[in-house]
Structure 1
């Protein structure tokens, strides 16, 4: 069976059209760019564990935004905050530094790779 596959593979060839290849556009979706522009990534400057739900609720209350942001844990130490209005995101950035349970919250712009 193995020899049969090897022989078939040796006879394999592409047509002229198949040899041209396929072009896939490298452009990012505008909707994704807009979402990324409304996000911040952050972490608490602490190695000790914390209650994520308490953190989330405390930050939402402290920030007093137009619409509640979506706050997700994206790693052991990282959080992702998605805002729904630029003004809300700017309010949080302008109001920093923020803290939770006496631990500093570090926030920065999300660039899609962070």
Structure 2
């Protein structure tokens, strides 16, 4: 199974806190705990857990069902982002969020409909 982006973000926050405690990073140079607050990480974990749970039984199903699950996680992540004043997911973070089962099991191509891209795909309804 793929590592959730939120686990990588949490590790970066922890690493920065360790550097501050060790004196190898000045507190004024620290920003990751603000960029990735625990509320964002926990909400992201919850949304991705639901996504993974819904995708797992669809392993041998057609893509139509996949896209409905993907649509729901995109909407959930958009809501999380809005709850964090639009600062929760920047371009790099959106690219790290797995939105297709290939990122979970390595068998298929990634869905191109992450984040704001999902809202601008004219051929898919992501509302």
TMscore range, shorter length: under 0.3
Q: Which has the higher contact order (CA 8 A, sep 6+)?
A: 1
Question: Bigger radius of gyration, 1 or 2?
Answer: 1
- TM-score (ref. length: structure 2): 0.25
- TM-score (ref. length: structure 1): 0.27
* Higher relative strand content: 1
* Higher relative helix content: 2
